[in-house]
Amino acid sequence: MNELNFNINDTTFGIKGKPKKIKAKHINKLLSFIVNRLVHPKYEESIQNGYIEIPAMSIKKIYDKYGNYMKYFVKKGILERSPYSKVDHKCMGYRFTNDFMQQVQINGIILDEKSTIFDLINNEPIEENEEVVIPTKHTEVLNRLKADFDSVVIDLSHIDKVKVDKTYYIDAGKWFRNVISLNKWEKGGLHITFKFKSNRLYTNFTSLSSHYRKNNVIINGEKLNEFDISSSFPLMLALYAKQQYPDIVKDPDFIRYCTSLKTQSFYDDLKERLNITLNCDSSKQRKNSQNEDIRHRLLSKKAAKKLFQMYLNGDTKRTPYLEGYSNSFIREQFTLMYPELNRIIEEVKNSNQEIYFKLVEIETDFIFSTLEELYLEYPDIRILTCHDAIYVPKSFSERTNIIWAAKMQELYDQLPDEINDIKTILPEEDEGIDVFCVEKDFCTNTKNHPPLYGGWSKEDKIWWDEFIRDEDFDDL
């Protein structure tokens, strides 16, 4: 277990009129236990409204006299507590209060060396003698990327606390997760990750959320700017379909699909189509994964993205659910919108192949060919990657955009459309779309799957855990 050093000193606390000693070393162990549960994908099924269930027997193993400390945490506004239920088989739940999250600072972390064998953040078993095959065409770029990666400086002086979307509440899980990841990278040694696997490069950088990549990773004394592929997986799907079936460019539905990609309206169009159907389906009662009635029937753009990923990467013979809707719902709607694309997707799946790998290979080839041009044109540039995005020091942003825009236009020019011109615009300095970072061989132990999965296949589990853990999938 990674042990965090919280900024809380030894003190005394009155319980039933008697003063009790509260020691910092036990505070650190107990709060760290809750943090480790909070950030670990294995336990996400027990998180409800921010509360993480803490079985008494589990926390007792950390410190057998935990009771007084838990009372202290609640009384001092460090934790909030939810009631347990024998009927529903629910343990006592705890969450960090927003007031505490506003002022908490971590004064250091004792990293568990076992996390080098089993990565806490990514829930990914690491094999010491694992053979990683690197395609010859990528060797030179990977060597250069490794040198750039080794030149990084990690800024731990101030780690921002980002808020949950459209709320005033700090995302405690995201903050603690990134604090641990940054400290692991800064410590180095066995905690360093740099490997090319499943057609993607995985590093300490890819384990961070987008905000922390751009604010706590320093190259040449500068923060970084991001360039990413908008709607990456839908775009790679279009390129794959054209490569395998050239005549599809004549299909009116495929042309409309490509137009939505070029105008960056794909997910908005999909959301609108799904919600039109839902409005016509209001008589049917839907329930969520906790068997509760769903009150808000219209889907958000984020939900539309998740449903598309369920459809694209999921097993057609299994039925995962999101907000009461299965992948059969999104498959039905996508088939009506883009029948030829659906036929291609189903063909790949029915041949026992994974379309994920096919799309990632196209994506990686594009990213690495772009890197080759950047390194050739600007020999002193340093670059980090996160799957379908590249990050460069801010002083290189304008120069990078010249090549990035041209390369993106080359992708778009391969596809038909209903418009005359598509312009690629440099993202504003402080903005950017977060990136979907997921290890393909990630957490395949089915006993850890929450009820939400409903018997998902290994492929479903791989990408879904990253979705529910973080919002970093906007570019897919």
Q: Report domain extents, the chain.
A: 3-106, 115-280+297-476
Predicted local distance difference test score (pLDDT) of residue 359:
94
Predicted local distance difference test score (pLDDT) of residue 442:
31
CATH code for the structural domain at 3-106: 1.10.10
| Cα–Cα nearest to 124, from 214, 52, 50, 198 | 198
pLDDT (tens digit per residue) in 291-307: 666 554 678 888 888 88
Tokens of 431: 């903005």
Contact 174, 470 (CB under 8 A): yes
Predicted local distance difference test score (pLDDT) of residue 454:
39
Predicted local distance difference test score (pLDDT) of residue 211:
96
Dihedral sign computed on CA atoms, order 186, 192, 194, 197: negative
Predicted local distance difference test score (pLDDT) of residue 182:
96
| HEC-encoded secondary structure of the chain | CCEEEECCCCEEEEECCEEEEECHHHHHHHHHHHHHHHHCHHHHHHEECCEEECCHHHHHCCCCCHHHHHHHHHHCCCEEEECCECCCCECCEEEECHHHHHHCCEEEEECCHHHHCEECCCCEECCCCCCCCCCHHHHHHHHHHHHHHHCCEECCCCCCCCECCCCCCECHHHHHHHHHHHHHHHHCHHHCCEEEECCEEEECHHHCCHHHHHHHEEECCECEEEEECCCHHHHHHHHHHHHHCHHHHHCHHHHHHHHHHHCCCHHHHHHHHHHHHHHCCCCCCCECCCCCECCCCCCCHHHHHHHHHHHHHCCCCCCCEECCEEHHHHHHHHHHHCHHHHHHHHHHHHCCCCHHHHHHHHHHHHHHHHHHHHHHHCCCCCCEECCCEEEEEHHHHHHHHHHHHHHHHHHHHCCCCCCCCCCCCCCCCCCCCCCCCCCCCCCCCHHHCCHHHCCCCHHHHHHHHHHHHCCCCCCC
Q: What is the pTM of this model?
A: 0.80
Q: Tell me which residues of the chain have a pLDDT lower than 70.
A: 45, 85-89, 113-136, 280-297, 315-327, 420-476
